[in-house]
Structures are given as C-alpha cells and as structure tokens.
A and B are shown apart, each in its own frame.
Chain A
Amino acid sequence: QSVLTQPPSVSGAPGQTVTISCTGSSSNIGAGCDVHWYQHLPGAAPKLLIYRDTNRPSGVPDRFSGSKSGTSASLAITGVQAEDEADYYCQSCDSSLSGSLFGGGTKLTVL
C-alpha cells in the first residue's frame, strides 16, 4: 500500500466533473511537499498534468486543475471527455525520503 493513497478507480459520464484524491500524511503532503499529477495512457509515456499543486504546464487543457488542503490533494477534470480515459498518478515527497514517490494510481473510466 502506497504512502500516498488514491482510489483505484473513478468514473464519470462525458461532460461531468470527476475528482481524484491523493491522501497523504503529516510527513508528506501535510509537511508542505509539492504534489504533481500525471496522466498515463496505454502505450504512451506518462504526461505531466499539474505541477506544484496547482500549476498547469503549457499545452495542458484548462479542464484539468489541482488543489491541496491539509494532508490531501485533488485533481479535478471538468467536463470529462472520452479521451481522458487513462490512469492518473499523484507524486509527492516525504520527510523520510531523499527523493519522491507516486501514489498507487487511479483508473478513470468515461462512461
């Protein structure tokens, strides 16, 4: 079980808003570690969606947004589209590590 906990799966109909949570603790997200989010489509390399909690790299649609509060972070997809069906991962640091770690991943199904 990962230190960063994500729901194994979420789903939503096209046009709906879907939220994916990433729950940590006082040694990682709650300690001020930045949270980053990735989209991983089958057969492709992962793609950075959100960096440092809330920032979108150039080229990422604005329907993707990130937030953080306390020991948790969330990725919201507003107006989900069929092409958004993929695995999503959060990443953060931890005070016990010199590096970083990923959450367990969440599979998004667009109904």
Chain B
Amino acid sequence: ELYLVQSGAEVKKPGESLKISCKDSTYSFPNYWIGWVRQVSGKGLEWMGVIYPGDSDTRYSPSFQGQVTISADKSTRTAYLQWYSLKASDSAMYYCARLWGAGGSPKAALERWGQGTLVTVSS
C-alpha cells in the first residue's frame, strides 16, 4: 500500500521555479514528521530536511538550507518541496517519507516512503 503519493516527473530549465508534492493518504498527517531525501543519479541518499505539519516546525540539512523550501498543508495532507531558481545540479530523484512515531523526533527513522519524483533540469 502506498501511503505517500508523490507528484509526477518534471523537466525544467535552469532558473525556473518548481514545487513538487507528497500527499499522505492517511488522516494522521499532522502528527508525523515528513522528510525529503535526494538521490542524484549514481550517488547516495542525502537527507534534505523535515517538517512537522502540526506546527510547521522545519529543520534543514546545512547543505540544503537556503536552497529549497519545505512546507506542508494540513487541509490537503500534502507536503511540498520547492525551488525558486533551479540549477542543473538539482537534477535528481526526490523522495518524501514519513518519520517513525507520532509526534516523534525529527531525527527518527524514515518509515514510509513515497515512490519518488524525478526532476530534470536542463537547458
């Protein structure tokens, strides 16, 4: 069962903006941290940041702070990852995942994963 459904693949040009989404099919969305993970082709997983939809508390990896914006909409049970000006180096697969444990830690394990959104940035 796919608890987190991500938006489809995107092809963008450098300098364009983009917002990808991650919709939770359950009604417990406000109570669990949601995280974003990047994987550049041929490289490893990178922890980008997390958000607690209940109060919008957001934590970023220093590598991604200021480069992306993570947000959430409780009314639609959807988390977002946003870029204001894409670079070719943003080309990657992006996964969202729900962290372990209701009301838990932003450092918890990533329990349930979305299917991934492939972002390609090319002129």
Contact = CB atoms under 8 A, between A and B. Distances in A.
Q: Interface range on chain B: under 10, 10 to 19, 20 to 34, or 35 or more? A: 20 to 34
A38 interface: yes
Interface stretch (A12-20, A69-77, A78-86, A92-100): A92-100
A45 B107 contact: no
Given A91-B47, A99-B60, A46 B95 contact: yes
B109 A52 contact: yes
A100 B47 CA distance: 7
B44 interface: yes
Contact of A45 (B46, B50, B114): B114
A68 interface: no
Given A45-B95, A45-B115, A99 B110 contact: no
A102 B50 contact: no
B30 interface: no
- Contact-residue bracket for chain A: 20 to 34
Interface in B48-67: 49-50, 59-62
B107 A102 contact: no
If over half of B's interface residues share one DSSP class (helix, strand or loop), that class is named, otherwise mixed; here it is: strand
Contacts of A30: none
14 contacts: A45-B97, A45-B115, A46-B37, A46-B95, A48-B100, A51-B100, A51-B108, A89-B45, A99-B47, A99-B106, A99-B107, A100-B47, A101-B47, A102-B44
Interface of A: 2, 33-34, 36, 38, 40, 45-48, 51-52, 57, 87, 89, 91-93, 97-105
Given A45-B97, A45-B116, A93-B107, 9 more contacts: A34-B109, A46-B97, A46-B110, A51-B111, A91-B109, A98-B106, A99-B106, A100-B47, A105-B44
